[in-house]
């Protein structure tokens, strides 16, 4: 081979490896869906990106590195007045899919565009889900990845057994549940229930009642607008209540201390104790029982009960900054 041919071959090889990997399977469907309708995706495989940016109709694009995707999966697109349903089911037994590595996703991707005023349900066994810019109720379930939700002005229910959860700007009651990662949520206009056994929980600005529980990290809450229940066996609990919030709650940990910040003008009944440190309040409390590691009494005459318990550190009650 001449020197020119050799250089050409090398250049072609470099170009081949530097080029992006093209999907071996791709299909795109445009389906009739007007604002106010419903969209459902139920798949045995794949990551999902759902965006509410279509003026009319749903566009679903499926890509996979498997050129025999149609032989491995049964893909169905159904449209009825006001509703679109997409189902992707594995052909044959799950054992065959497991040994062929089909069970784990293999970079199959669903990209979906719908009208913003759409109620959506997403179920996938094979990857993460990213949903944004919706004005309808959103339900997401995955056993194979993380969840990301942003700018949904309606109730949201999200659960995963395989990753973290991140939500921003949700305009309704919200549920976030994972057994495999952390939870990070900002801006819920409604109540929030956040549970995980595999990481910490960080929450900012929730207008309604809040329940947060983890056995794998700490709980940090800022801007709690309603009653708060926060529990962990794996770290500290820190809760900052919003101005004027007198709803009380229960904060417990066996893995660290408990810290809370309160509006000094609210009326609350305090029941605080620790087996792992001191209990201290910067706010004046009318005391009915006190010791180095317990405090019971009222702030501003008493009101809803705020119960604080720690077996892994101290308890401190501070005035809101």
Residues 157-178 pLDDT 10s: 999 987 999 999 999 999 999 9
Residue 60 predicted with pLDDT over 70: yes
DSSP bridge partners of 8: none
pLDDT of residue 279: 95
Segment 250-273, tens digit of pLDDT? 999 998 999 999 999 999 999 999
What is the pLDDT, as a whole number, of residue 126?
Answer: 76
Q: Specify the pTM.
A: 0.88
Do the domain assignments include residue 297? no
Of 5-9, 75-79, 148-152, which gets the smallest average pLDDT? 5-9
Report the alpha-carbon angle 187-121-209, nearest 5: 30
Higher pLDDT, 56 or 95: 56
Distance CA 287, CA 127 (A): 54
Per-residue confidence at 92, pLDDT binned at 50, 70, 90?
confident
Q: Which residue has the higher pLDDT, 105 or 234?
A: 234
Specify if 119 maps to a domain.
yes
Split at pLDDT 50, 70, 90, the class of 198 is: confident
Percent of the chain whose predicted confidence (pLDDT) is above 90: 76
87 within domain boundaries: yes
pLDDT of residue 321: 81
Is residue 105 in a domain? Answer: yes
pLDDT over 80 at 99, yes or no: no
Q: Identify the pLDDT of residue 173.
A: 98
Domain count, the chain: 1
Split at pLDDT 50, 70, 90, the class of 144 is confident
Domain that holds residue 62: 20-141
14 inside domain: no
| Cβ count within 10 A of residue 129 | 28
Residue 311 scores a pLDDT above 60: yes
In a domain, 193, yes or no: no
* Residue 63 located in a structural domain: yes
| 116 located within any domain | yes
pLDDT for the residue 318? 97
Query: Which whole number is the average pLDDT over 110-116?
Result: 98
What is the pLDDT at residue 166?
98
Evaluate whether 186 touches 148 at the Cβ level (below 8 Å).
no
Question: In the predicted model, is pLDDT for residue 17 greater than 70?
Answer: no
Q: What distances in angstroms separate CA 32 from CA 29, 38, 56, 155, 183, one per listed residue?
A: 10, 11, 8, 24, 35
Candidates 278, 195, 187, 201; CA nearest to 236 is 201
Share of the chain above pLDDT 70, in %: 88
């Amino acid at each position: 081979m001449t020197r020119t041919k050799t250089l050409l071959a090398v250049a072609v090889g470099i170009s081949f490896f530097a080029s992006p990997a093209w999907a071996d399977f791709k299909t795109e469907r445009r389906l009739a869906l007007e604002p106010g309708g419903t969209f459902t995706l139920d798949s045995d495989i794949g990551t999902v990106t759902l965006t509410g940016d279509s003026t009319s109709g749903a566009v679903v694009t499926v890509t996979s590195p498997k050129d025999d995707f149609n032989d491995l999966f049964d893909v169905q697109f159904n449209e009825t007045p006001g509703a679109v349903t997409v189902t992707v089911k594995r052909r044959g037994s799950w054992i065959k899919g497991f040994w062929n590595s089909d069970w784990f996703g293999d970079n199959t991707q669903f990209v979906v565009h719908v009208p913003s005023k759409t109620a959506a349900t997403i179920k996938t066994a094979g990857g993460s889900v990213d949903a944004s810019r919706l004005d309808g109720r959103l339900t997401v379930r995955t056993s194979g990845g993380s969840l990301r939700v942003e700018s949904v002005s309606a109730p949201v229910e999200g659960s995963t057994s395989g990753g973290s959860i991140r939500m921003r700007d949700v305009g309704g009651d919200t549920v976030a549940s994972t057994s495999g990662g952390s939870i990070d949520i900002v801006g819920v206009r409604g109540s929030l229930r956040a549970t995980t056994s595999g990481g910490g929980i960080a929450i900012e600005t929730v207008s309604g009642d809040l329940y947060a529980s983890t056995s794998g990290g700490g709980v940090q809450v800022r801007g709690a607008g309603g009653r708060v229940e926060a529990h962990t066996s794996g770290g500290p609990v820190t809760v900052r209540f919003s101005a004027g919030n007198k709803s009380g709650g229960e904060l417990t940990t066996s893995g660290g201390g408990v810290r809370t910040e309160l509006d000094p003008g609210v009326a609350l009944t305090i029941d605080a104790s620790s087996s792992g440190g001191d209990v201290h309040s910067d706010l004046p409390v009318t005391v009915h029982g006190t010791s180095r590691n317990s405090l019971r009494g009222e702030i501003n005459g008493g009101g809803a009960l705020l119960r604080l318990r720690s077996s892994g550190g101290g308890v401190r009650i501070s005035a809101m900054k």
